[in-house]
């Protein structure tokens, strides 16, 4: 299939890997040519991360061979692979925020003169390196913690290049980037390509994969499903390979008019430091989508309702009774649940078990000694109901995939029998399969009478899931759209190119 | 931004020096009002002596804390070192160098033990160094009831009491050690790697840093600093003192000085210059209260308040930075 291509830089043949007897990778073949962007897609748990770790020396494969630059290699660790010329850029940056760009780039191999670190040389080399990838505005002596996410990513790339990387692995490089920053990354990727660097590009966002890659390899359940030339395939086809399901069947049916119940939550002229004059009604049985740009007050709204940073002005009524939601604890007792945007930071306790994570909220808020056993039983049932896969209940949650972690977080809130659920980017960084499972679950909750408020930056998701959409801008409600609105309408309201419709 | 980025590694002078200036000014005025004189020869000298002893320990402590570790055994290392020094010298000027050498070897050994426990055996630094400290305490309590040995007169005269103007030789030693530590942190690979290990051990490891080696080195250097402090105290006291380290609260005070000096207790941020500022601040408060003849217990209360206030200020700053 790829016979006409130049000699591959990296060739994987029959790579296999098991953890504790569970086969994670099985006979995976893959090759990357110099200057090629080779995308790897698949659900979470399909084995992408494990494969990348094998290439970058994090794990040793149980079977198969890794051939790099014409020689069969067995890497003893990440350092070994780095020395050989394989760099990896993780989803979470491996940078020290307190140190300068240059100190980060040359960490571990600082230029030395007469036994001492040559600071000037280090700065010069870093500046040149940054310039070579088109980054001329970033000072080499700036503290990394002061940089934006996109610039930090540039530093990461420079760090890999400082080790003469010829193969660069990018693991979800755009997950943390804003839209305009993604464009910058595209430019960067192309420049790396021109230098003859091979790229392994792991991403959930199919749009990027189509924009950047030359070939795409699809993994499913640890096996390679297929490798296709990007030009010869479509998004639908890829998704079918990944999950065996059509793109259009993603979203469950919306609520019928008769399913919509009474107003559960009513905000009148509510505001705080980040919000002003928010008027909003949330009904039982509906999914209310919240759109808007990053920083438009979407999360601030959820956090205010949940009492994290409460409203300071206006009135809030819950089931027609005025309430003051002063803290998450009062909000939980009032039957409100909040699935946060930052799963790693605010959603899970990484080193606690799945069960402990799922029990966290019920234990904290309803701490009665009695019924402990019953509670545990119930949470176990919920965990099974949300289909947390591939894990025992007493496994530490950090070992689970993002999708499964999110399901545990959901189970935690469901255990409280909430009447109002706030979802902030519930499917961010989650693979397609888990995504649609979560969509189904959200809809099922609404159908069972819960009032759901869902924030999403993913427009197809927002449009596909919501019964109504409220768009935020600059801390207030910019407008409301009915189900069946178009992406253009949402964006227009979010950026403020249209007059606000009268509510 | 541009002015800031010109001096990135040399961060803005830690607030501790502002606090120090304020404290000295206010202290000077209050003492003046009280009819005394804060900056006369004898108070300045004693202030610097206090600072020298604590400073030597605190500079070493800075290294381990920067690396994300901690050393609670320093107080016992100090006591042990005074004894090793005084008993080896036994009043003879000829034995000064061997005694100093032996102290450094013994303290380095303790540091090595600390370091290996923390790295190889993955014992939490707090527990590991506390355990080693208790081990030393057992040895000291068993073998000694009171002062033992005799420091060589030449060392007592030089390191113990000699001074250049109002500045004791011991304080000059502190300056030299601080300069060496500063240099090591900013100009050697070890220093860069140490701060990296403290900032994020995983990042450091993935960048090719040998975390364990770096951390063990830091622990050895820390203990050796405590050993130096022990030699200094032996030359002050004229003999070995089995409780001088713990009675001087050198373990907790050194950590307090490091934290007041702006080094993050979690590691990865800070430096020795700030630590010296913290030491001087603590010593100044001591000096001022001595002048005012404030009750010793009340003095402790004030110190406690200052330590908490300092940490609160740093925490607020960090919060503002994050926001």
CB–CB contacts below 8 A, A to B: 70
Three-state secondary structure call for residue A477: strand
Q: What angle do CA B173, B175, B179 make, to 5 degrees?
A: 120
Q: Which token pair is A63?
A: 């079977």
Residue of A107, A120, A162, A171 to mutate for B, most B C-beta atoms under 10 A = A107
Q: Are A182 and A205 in contact (CB under 8 A)?
A: no
Q: Cβ contacts of residue B175 below 8 Å, gap of 6+?
A: none
Q: Which residues of A473-487 are buried (b: 16+ CB within 10 A; e: fewer)?
A: bebbbbbbbebebee
Separation CA A90–CA A53 (nearest Å): 10
Q: Is the pLDDT of residue B5 over 50?
A: no
Residue among A96, A97, A141 whose CB faces B5 most closely: A141
Residue of B3, B8, B264, B267 to mutate for A, most A C-beta atoms under 10 A = B8
Separation CA A445–CA A453 (nearest Å): 11
Residue among A82, A98, A108 whose CB faces B209 most closely: A108
Q: Is the pLDDT of residue A277 over 70?
A: yes
Residues of chain B contacting A142 with CB distance shorter than 8 Å = 5, 8
Q: Cβ contacts of residue A167 below 8 Å, gap of 6+?
A: A9, A10, A32, A55, A68, A85, A86, A87, A197, A198, A199, A200
Between B41-66 and B169-187, two packed helices, what is the crossing angle to 10 degrees? 30
Residue of A83, A91, A108, A159 to mutate for B, most B C-beta atoms under 10 A = A108
Fold of B15-28+38-322: ABC transporter involved in vitamin B12 uptake, BtuC (1.10.3470)
Q: Is the pLDDT of residue B2 over 60?
A: no
pLDDT given at position A6: 65
Strands A336-339 and A420-424: parallel
Within 10 A of B91 (CB to CB), how many other CB atoms are there? 14
**Least confident residue range of A209-213, B6-10, B113-117, B123-127:** B6-10
**Least confident residue range of A226-235, A446-455, B3-12:** B3-12
Q: Are A52 and A200 in contact (CB under 8 A)?
A: yes
CA distances from B254 to B61, B245, B315 (A): 7, 11, 19
Q: Are A434 and A403 in contact (CB under 8 A)?
A: yes
User: What is the per-residue DSSP string for A425-445?
Assistant: STTTT--HHHHHHHHHHHHHH
Residue A440 forms contact with B (CB below 8 Å): no
CB contact under 8 A, B189 and A143: no
Closest CA to B67 of B37, B103, B111, B26: B111
Q: Which residues of A406-433 are buried (b: 16+ CB within 10 A; e: fewer)?
A: bbbbbbbbbbbebbbbbbbbbbbbbbbb
pLDDT digits (tens, 9 = 90+) for B15-54: 788 888 988 998 889 888 888 887 888 889 999 999 999 9
CB contact under 8 A, B8 and A143: yes
Q: Which residue of B has its CA nearest to A94?
A: B203
- Residue B321 burial (C-beta neighbours within 10 Å; 0-12, 13-18, 19+): exposed
CB contact under 8 A, B207 and A159: yes
Q: Which token pair is B161?
A: 């009491």
Nearest CA to CA, how far is B300 from chain A (Å)? 34
Closest CA to B71 of B260, B252, B232: B252
Q: Is the pLDDT of residue A284 over 90?
A: yes
Share of chain A above pLDDT 70, in %: 93
Q: Are B66 and B263 in contact (CB under 8 A)?
A: yes
Residue A142 forms contact with B (CB below 8 Å): yes
Query: In chain B, how long is the greatest CA-to-CA distance?
Result: 61
Q: How far is CA B129 from the centre of its chain?
A: 16
Of residues A301 and B321, the one with the higher pLDDT is A301
pLDDT digits (tens, 9 = 90+) for A112-149: 998 899 999 999 999 999 998 888 889 999 999 888 88
Q: Which token pair is B131?
A: 């355990």
pLDDT digits (tens, 9 = 90+) for A84-95: 999 988 877 889
Residue of A58, A87, A99 to mutate for B, most B C-beta atoms under 10 A = A99
Q: Are A328 and A306 in contact (CB under 8 A)?
A: yes
Phi-psi region of B293 (alpha: psi -120 to 50; beta: other; left: phi over 0): left
Q: Which token pair is B89?
A: 């010298």
Average predicted confidence (pLDDT) for chain A: 85
Q: Which token pair is A500?
A: 């606000």
Q: Cβ contacts of residue A278 below 8 Å, gap of 6+?
A: A267, A269, A270, A271, A297, A301, A314, A476, A477
CA distances from A399 to A56, B120, B284 (A): 19, 24, 51
Q: What is the mean pLDDT of residues A224-233?
A: 90
Separation CA B96–CA B156 (nearest Å): 11
Q: Are B240 and B88 in contact (CB under 8 A)?
A: no
pLDDT given at position B8: 38
Q: Is the pLDDT of residue A247 over 70?
A: no
Compute the radius of gyration of chain A from its Cα atoms: 25
Residue A27 forms contact with B (CB below 8 Å): no
Q: Cβ contacts of residue A124 below 8 Å, gap of 6+?
A: A140
pLDDT digits (tens, 9 = 90+) for B222-238: 999 999 999 999 999 99
Nearest CA to CA, how far is B136 from chain A (Å)? 35
Q: Are A64 and A112 in contact (CB under 8 A)?
A: no
pLDDT digits (tens, 9 = 90+) for B169-192: 999 999 999 999 999 999 999 999
Nearest CA to CA, how far is A172 from chain B (Å)? 18
Closest CA to A453 of A266, A259, A204, A179: A266
Closest CA to A347 of A430, A291, A453: A430
DSSP assignment, residue A338? Answer: E
| Number of residues in chain A | 503
Residue among A95, A142, A159 whose CB faces B5 most closely: A142
CA distances from A502 to A420, A477, A499, B77 (A): 27, 11, 9, 76
pTM of the model: 0.74
Nearest CA to CA, how far is A45 from chain B (Å)? 23
Nearest CA to CA, how far is A252 from chain B (Å)? 38
pLDDT given at position A254: 83
What are the E-state strand segments in A346-438?
420-424
Q: Are A28 and A59 in contact (CB under 8 A)?
A: no
Residues of chain A contacting B193 with CB distance shorter than 8 Å = 107-108
Residue among A78, A116, A141 whose CB faces B8 most closely: A141
Confidence of residue B139 (pLDDT cuts 50, 70, 90): very high
Of residues A367 and A170, the one with the higher pLDDT is A170
What are the E-state strand segments in B121-241?
163-164, 167-168
Strands A167-171 and A86-89: parallel
Residue A164 forms contact with B (CB below 8 Å): no
Q: Is the pLDDT of residue A502 over 60?
A: no
3-state SS string over A209-263?
Answer: HHHHCCEEEEEECCEEEEEEEHHHCCHHHHHHHHHCCCHHHHCCCCCCHHHCCCE
Residue A387 forms contact with B (CB below 8 Å): no
Q: Is the pLDDT of residue A260 over 80?
A: yes
Q: Are A387 and A437 in contact (CB under 8 A)?
A: yes
Confidence of residue B241 (pLDDT cuts 50, 70, 90): very high
Nearest CA to CA, how far is B203 from chain A (Å)? 5
Residue A112 forms contact with B (CB below 8 Å): yes
pLDDT given at position A431: 72
Separation CA B177–CA B49 (nearest Å): 15
Q: Which token pair is A234?
A: 């479509």
Q: Which token pair is B126?
A: 């707090």
Q: Cβ contacts of residue A103 below 8 Å, gap of 6+?
A: A96, A110, A122, B9, B192
Compute the radius of gyration of chain B from its Cα atoms: 20
Q: Which token pair is B13?
A: 């002078």
- How far the first Cα of chain A sits from its last, in Å, is 58
Residues of chain B contacting A108 with CB distance shorter than 8 Å = 193, 196, 204, 207-209
Residue among A79, A96, A117 whose CB faces B188 most closely: A117
CB contact under 8 A, B192 and A94: no
Residue among B5, B189, B321 whose CB faces A112 most closely: B189
pLDDT given at position B13: 57
Q: Is the pLDDT of residue B321 over 50?
A: yes
pLDDT given at position A394: 83
Closest CA to B165 of B307, B300, B44, B1: B44
Q: Which residue of A has its CA nearest to B203?
A: A94
Q: What is the mean pLDDT of residues B66-95?
A: 95
Nearest CA to CA, how far is B213 from chain A (Å)? 13
Q: Cβ contacts of residue A213 below 8 Å, gap of 6+?
A: A37, A38, A39, A201, A230
Separation CA A318–CA A309 (nearest Å): 18
* β-bridge mates for residue A116, sequence order: A113
Confidence of residue A369 (pLDDT cuts 50, 70, 90): low
Separation CA B167–CA B105 (nearest Å): 29
**Which residue matches tokens 């899970």?**
A348
Separation CA A311–CA A294 (nearest Å): 20
CB contact under 8 A, B203 and A109: no
Q: Is the pLDDT of residue A385 over 90?
A: no
pLDDT given at position A387: 79
Q: Which token pair is A495?
A: 């950026």
Of residues B114 and B286, the one with the higher pLDDT is B114
Three-state secondary structure call for residue A153: helix
Q: Cβ contacts of residue B16 below 8 Å, gap of 6+?
A: B260, B261, B262, B274, B277, B278, B281, B310
pLDDT digits (tens, 9 = 90+) for A26-60: 999 999 999 999 999 886 667 888 899 899 988 88
Residue among A98, A100, A110 whose CB faces B268 most closely: A98
Residue among B188, B193, B269 whose CB faces A98 most closely: B269
Three-state secondary structure call for residue A327: coil
Query: In chain A, how long is the greatest CA-to-CA distance?
Result: 80
Residue of B208, B270, B314 to mutate for A, most A C-beta atoms under 10 A = B208
Q: What is the mean pLDDT of residues B119-124?
A: 93
Nearest CA to CA, how far is A29 from chain B (Å)? 26
């Amino acid at each position: 299939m790829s016979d006409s291509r130049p000699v591959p830089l990296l060739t994987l043949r029959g790579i296999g890997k098991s953890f504790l007897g569970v086969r994670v990778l099985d006979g995976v073949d893959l090759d990357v040519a110099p200057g090629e962007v080779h995308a790897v897609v698949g659900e979470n748990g399909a084995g992408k991360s494990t494969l990348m770790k094998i290439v970058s020396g994090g794990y040793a494969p149980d079977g198969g061979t890794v051939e790099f630059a014409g020689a069969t290699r067995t890497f003893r660790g990440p350092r070994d692979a780095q020395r050989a010329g394989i760099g990896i850029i993780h989803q979470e940056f491996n940078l020290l925020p307190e140190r300068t760009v240059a100190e980060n780039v040359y960490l571990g191999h600082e230029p030395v003169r007469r036994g001492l670190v040559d600071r000037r040389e280090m700065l010069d080399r870093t500046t040149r390196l940054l310039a070579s990838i088109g980054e001329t505005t970033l000072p080499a002596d700036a503290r990394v913690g002061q940089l934006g996410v996109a610039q930090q990513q540039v530093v990461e790339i420079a760090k890999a290049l400082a080790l003469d990387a010829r193969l660069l692995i990018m693991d979800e490089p755009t997950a943390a980037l804003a839209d305009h920053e993604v464009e910058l990354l595209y430019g960067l990727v192309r420049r790396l390509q021109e230098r003859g660097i091979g790229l392994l590009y792991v991403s959930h966002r199919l749009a990027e994969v189509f924009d950047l890659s030359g070939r795409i390899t699809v993994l499913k359940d640890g096996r390679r499903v297929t490798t296709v030339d990007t030009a010869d395939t479509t998004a639908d086809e890829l998704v079918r390979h990944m999950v065996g399901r059509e793109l259009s069947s993603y979203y469950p049916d919306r609520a019928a008019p008769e399913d919509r119940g009474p107003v559960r939550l009513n905000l009148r002229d509510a505001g705080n430091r980040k919000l002003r004059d928010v008027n909003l009604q949330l009904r039982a049985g509906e999914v209310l989508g919240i759109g808007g740009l990053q920083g438009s007050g979407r999360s601030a709204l959820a956090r205010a309702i949940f009492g994290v940073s409460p409203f300071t002005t206006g009135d809030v009524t819950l089931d027609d009774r005025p309430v003051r939601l002063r803290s998450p604890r009062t909000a939980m007792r009032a039957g409100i649940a909040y699935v946060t945007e930052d799963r790693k930071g605010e959603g899970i306790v990484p080193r606690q078990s799945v069960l402990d994570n799922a029990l966290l909220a019920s234990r904290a808020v309803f701490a009665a000694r009695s019924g402990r056993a019953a509670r545990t039983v119930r949470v176990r049932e919920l965990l099974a109901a949300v289909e947390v896969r591939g894990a025992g209940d007493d496994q530490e949650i950090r070992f689970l995939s993002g999708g499964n972690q999110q399901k545990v977080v959901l189970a935690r809130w469901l255990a409280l029998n909430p009447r109002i659920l706030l979802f902030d980017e519930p499917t961010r960084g989650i693979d397609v399969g888990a995504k649609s499972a979560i969509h189904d679950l959200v809809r099922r909750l609404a159908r069972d009478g819960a009032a759901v408020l869902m924030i999403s930056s993913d427009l197809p998701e927002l449009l596909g899931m919501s019964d109504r959409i409220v768009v935020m801008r600059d801390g207030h409600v910019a407008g409301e759209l009915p189900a069946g609105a178009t992406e253009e309408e949402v964006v227009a309201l979010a950026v403020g190119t249209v007059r606000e419709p009268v509510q | 931004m541009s002015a800031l980025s010109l001096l990135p590694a040399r961060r803005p002078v830690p607030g501790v020096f502002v606090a120090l200036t304020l404290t000295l000014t206010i202290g000077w005025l209050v003492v003046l009002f009280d009819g005394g004189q804060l900056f006369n020869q004898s108070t300045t000298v004693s202030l610097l002596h206090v600072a020298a002893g604590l400073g030597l320990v605190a500079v070493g402590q800075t290294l381990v804390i920067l690396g994300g570790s901690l050393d609670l055994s320093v107080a016992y290392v100090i006591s042990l070192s005074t004894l090793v020094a005084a008993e080896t010298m036994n009043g003879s000027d000829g034995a000064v160098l061997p005694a100093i050498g032996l102290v450094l070897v013994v303290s380095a050994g303790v540091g090595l033990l600390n370091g290996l426990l923390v790295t190889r055996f993955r014992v939490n630094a707090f527990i590991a160094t506390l355990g080693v400290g208790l081990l030393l305490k057992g040895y000291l309590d068993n073998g000694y009831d009171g002062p033992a040995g005799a420091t060589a007169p030449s060392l007592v005269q030089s390191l113990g009491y000699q001074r250049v103007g109002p500045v004791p030789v011991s304080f000059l030693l502190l300056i030299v050690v601080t300069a060496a530590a500063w240099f090591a942190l900013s100009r050697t690979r070890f220093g860069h790697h140490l701060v990296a290990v403290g900032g994020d051990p995983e990042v450091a490891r993935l960048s090719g840093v040998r975390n364990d080696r770096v951390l063990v080195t830091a622990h050895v250097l820390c203990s050796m600093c405590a050993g130096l402090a022990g030699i200094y105290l032996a030359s002050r006291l004229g003999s070995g003192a089995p409780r001088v380290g713990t009675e001087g609260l050198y373990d907790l005070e050194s950590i307090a000085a490091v934290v007041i000096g702006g080094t993050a207790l979690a590691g990865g941020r800070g430096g020795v210059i700030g630590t010296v500022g913290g030491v001087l601040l603590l010593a100044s408060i001591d000096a001022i209260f001595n002048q005012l003849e404030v009750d010793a217990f009340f003095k402790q209360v004030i110190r406690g308040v200052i330590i908490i206030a300092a940490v609160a200020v740093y925490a607020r700053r960090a919060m503002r930075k994050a926001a």
